[in-house]
Amino acid sequence: MILPFPHGQSRRLELHGDDILSFATKRSGPAALAMSLAVLVAAPAKADDAQPRIEPAVDAAFRPLLEKHDVPGMAVAVTAGGRHYVFTYGVASRDSKKPVTRDTLFEIGSVSKTFTATLALEAQERGKLSLDDRPGAHLSALRGSAIDKASLLNLGTYTAGGLPLQFPASVNRDADMPDYFRTWEPASPPGAQRRYSNPSIGLLGHIASLAMGGDFATLVEKEIFAPLGMTNSFVRVPKSRMDDYALGYNKANKPVRVTPGVFGPEAYGVKTTAADLIRFVDANMNPDALAPPLRRAVEGTHVGYFRVGGMVQGLGWEQYPYPVTRADLLAGNSSEMALEPQSAVALDPPQAPSGPTLFNKTGSTNGFGAYAAFVPERRIGIVMLANRNIPIPDRIEAAAAVLDVLGTLGPQK
């Protein structure tokens, strides 16, 4: 947390749980770029040999991005061997000058898709649907249409036949959605190509909600956030937490937040903190600690279904053999991968990783940028949340640099 002091200084509190371990004053530069660090662990407070190496690595990788891209604020969290470290920079709002804290809510854009995939797999574990189902089995208006030739798995892996990145402007109400899918014409057979698409995984999330008999936002908060202790995560931010909801800043440097859209909650609607999102990352690295069927749902998001270049597409998460080259990681998260159809090769049968694997997902809205990555075999992971849409290559480079350092720490007790 930041305590304001005159003459450009700030005080940093370093915390293990609720115990204050050290209290220091340091020179920090402009107030808008002040950083605070909170170290959060479930174990009793004890010496942490890793923190002196992690903090400068995160600072060196991410602090320059604030000035380079005129980013108002950012939160970065890492996990190493079960220990969580949360670093906060800058301000949540330029108008109020309120600093980013561990409670600041950011839009995470398409990182939300990992939650949508988890919910769909939980619905399957509960016997409410099967990934082999056709959409028309759950949404009668789509029976017999072209989209009904695809499976729910195709929807979740963007391989339904060429659905676009976004709905056209004419689809601006939920009532418009069935007509769009009924008249949609595929560019390829299901499974032949991957074309990244909000309508595609959005339809999967919508169908999962129908199958579970509830509202998507309520189901995600009840079935995923609550069991994982993600008490600062929302699809609909309650009024009581709006003061913690950061303002995003668009290309014109105007404050913005995400606008409602068809399948917006399912495709890019989660708002959360870095501290909560790193809990989700840890749950993905250690699903054995979860109660079924959530455990099996999380494990299901780690199964690979299609090879697309050097990346393997799962449900929500994208996979790479670890260690992964920067070139492969950047290619898998490139604008071409997001905006253009790519040839897809089905993995038959679908495969869980057979060796060390890096899982990742990027996310963006008009005013926010996010990234999450983790390597279960090394028990290391990182999340970055910012209230500006930082170019994805810079997010990747910064996160990869920190993961390189985390990978040298060895087992953490």
Please list the active-site residues.
110, 196
Dihedrals phi, psi of 194, to nearest 5 degrees? -105, 125
Helices (H) and strands (E) in the chain, counts: 12, 19
Name the token pair of 199. Answer: 């309508």
260 SS3 class: coil
Concatenated DSSP letters for 167-193? --TT--SGGGHHHHHHH---SS-TTSE
Q: Which residue has the tokens 């993961």?
A: 403
DSSP state of 221: I
Q: How long a stretch of residues is the chain?
A: 413
202 SS3 class: helix
Cβ burial of 69 (10 Å; 0-12, 13-18, 19+) is middle
In this structure, are residues 333 and 392 in contact, taking their beta carbons and an 8 Å threshold?
yes
Nearest to 221 by CA among 128, 329, 116, 341: 116
Concatenated DSSP letters for 342-364? EE-EEEEEEE--SS-EEEEEEEE
- Cα–Cα distance, 78 to 40 (Å, whole number): 10
